[in-house]
Amino acid sequence: MKVLHVITDLDTGGAESMLIALVTASRPQRPEQHVVSLLPDGVLRPRLAGTGISVTDLNMTRGRPSLGAVWRLARLICHLSPDVIQSWMYHADLVATAAWWLSFRRQNTRLMWGVRCSNMDVDRYGRGFRLVLAACARLSSVPAVVVANSEAGRDHHRALGYRPRRFPVILNGIDTDRFRPDDSARHTVRAELGIDQAAPFLIHVARVDPMKDHATLIAALEQLPGIGTLAVGAGTENLPARPHLHRLGRRDDLPRLFAAADLVVSTSAFGEGFSNVLGEGMAAGLPAIATDVGDARAVIGDCGMVVPPGRAEMLADAVRNYFALHPSKRADLGRRARARIERHFSLQRAVSAFDDLHREMAACAE
């Protein structure tokens, strides 16, 4: 089986991380896989080095359509003759569809899309994004399958007008070998940042974007003077300075950073499907507090708390109540959080689900 993955870019993000984890995961019969990025470079690209997985850049410019890039992808499809094309996110879905049509391999290659978010507030983004989303809804019956990564995401896209022939949900998978409790990393990271080893700290991992709602995070922290925060993600280095807020920007050592914290927090206002950040933090043994967006409630279960989006005072109360628990109860919540990820959201479960679906599609194309 040969699978060609098409994604917008290989920068830090949930879809990008899931793709890297999927194509590099070990299994007895790993498909032959190729990755195409619409945009060049990307900070996650080095993780594919030495894996034998080829990566092709179409060298598009963000925000500028390129017929040349579509033609280059069509030629690559003809050259590789994949059994399945799996695209990830809206722009990649459209480009992959156009190239698939031009490749004249519609009878031999099955096209599959991926949608990764839920209730996007499209008014916060440009007209170009809204046009792409509308085009995807109109063309959603073209691919053989559209894969959502959350129940909330599937429901939202149906409300947007998506009418795919098949619309399964494959929840994200978390690499629990990579994300795990690590006392050594906890000690080392805290020493590097000048943090007392016993100080209460939460971690918030998200790029600065209206969807992630850092304003609510900052407002909540104003009510939590004794609790520190690791803010990680592109743009966080420019957040307003405040005591005990470590503005770390984009980092490539997330497993170490999660291990250094006591609690993982997500403040997304809209748009989340299945939050990798919550899953990764929980795998590292951290209870979770998140806004009730996407599948957060299903991911957290009884290993944390869910609060309404945009309610800084309720978020602050939830964090304060967690740190008021006896240390033994906090430790038990952390153990249960990791066990929940291992039991319900393992990487191997997601990899098997994708492989089974790709094999099914490949058999249909024969």
Co-location of 212 and 191 in the same domain = yes
In this predicted structure, the answer to whether residue 69 has a pLDDT above a threshold of 60 is: yes
C-beta separation of 346 from 176 below 8 A: yes
Confidence of residue 347 (pLDDT cuts 50, 70, 90): very high
**Closest to 264 in 3D by CA, of 254, 274, 278:** 278
The 10s digit of each residue's pLDDT in 145-163 is: 999 999 999 999 999 999 9
Co-location of 106 and 250 in the same domain = no
The sheet carrying 263-266 orders its strands as 245-249, 228-232, 201-205, 263-266, 288-291, 304-307
Lowest mean pLDDT among 35-49, 118-132, 309-323, 348-362: 118-132
Angle, in degrees to the nearest 10, between helices 276-283 and 14-24:
60
Q: Could you identify the residue written with the tokens 């006896």?
A: 326
Domain that includes residue 30, residue range: 2-173+347-365
Confidence of residue 138 (pLDDT cuts 50, 70, 90): very high
Q: Which residue type, as a one-letter code, is found at position 202?
A: L
Co-location of 162 and 257 in the same domain = no
| Assigned token pair, 196 | 């007392």
Average pLDDT over residues 336-351: 97
Co-location of 137 and 244 in the same domain = no
Give the phi and the psi of residue 57 in degrees, each rounded to 5.
Answer: -95, 135
Residue 116, domain member (yes or no) = yes
How many other β-carbons are positioned within 10 Å of the β-carbon of residue 205? 26
- What pLDDT score was predicted for residue 366? 56
How many other β-carbons are positioned within 10 Å of the β-carbon of residue 321? 11
Co-location of 231 and 324 in the same domain = yes
Average pLDDT over residues 239-265: 96
pLDDT > 90: what percent of the chain? 86
Co-location of 11 and 58 in the same domain = yes
Residue 200, domain member (yes or no) = yes
Co-location of 103 and 164 in the same domain = yes
C-beta separation of 56 from 76 below 8 A: yes
- What pLDDT score was predicted for residue 78? 96
The 10s digit of each residue's pLDDT in 215-229 is: 999 999 999 999 999
Co-location of 206 and 317 in the same domain = yes
Confidence of residue 365 (pLDDT cuts 50, 70, 90): low
Q: Which SS3 state, helix, strand or coil, does residue 318 take?
A: helix
Co-location of 122 and 253 in the same domain = no
Co-location of 316 and 195 in the same domain = yes
Lowest mean pLDDT among 52-56, 75-79, 99-103, 236-240: 52-56
Residue 331, domain member (yes or no) = yes
In this predicted structure, the answer to whether residue 127 has a pLDDT above a threshold of 70 is: yes
C-beta separation of 11 from 38 below 8 A: no
Co-location of 138 and 233 in the same domain = no
**Closest to 251 in 3D by CA, of 288, 206, 313:** 206
Q: Which SS3 state, helix, strand or coil, does residue 13 take?
A: coil
Q: Which residue type, as a one-letter code, is found at position 10?
A: L
Q: How far apart are CA 167 and CA 51, in angstroms?
A: 31
Residue 358, domain member (yes or no) = yes
Overall domain count for the chain: 2
**Closest to 288 in 3D by CA, of 248, 225, 333:** 333
Q: How far apart are CA 264 and CA 198, in angstroms?
A: 17
- What pLDDT score was predicted for residue 309? 97
Confidence of residue 350 (pLDDT cuts 50, 70, 90): very high
Q: Could you identify the residue written with the tokens 């209730």?
A: 119
- What pLDDT score was predicted for residue 86? 98
| Assigned token pair, 198 | 């016993």
Residue 14, domain member (yes or no) = yes
pTM above 0.85, yes or no: yes
Co-location of 50 and 111 in the same domain = yes
Residue 178, domain member (yes or no) = no
For residue 68, give the CATH number of its domain: 3.40.50.2000
DSSP state, residue 243: T
Widest Cα–Cα separation across the chain: 64
**Closest to 337 in 3D by CA, of 303, 290, 306:** 303
Q: Which SS3 state, helix, strand or coil, does residue 114 take?
A: strand
Lowest mean pLDDT among 81-90, 120-129, 132-141: 120-129
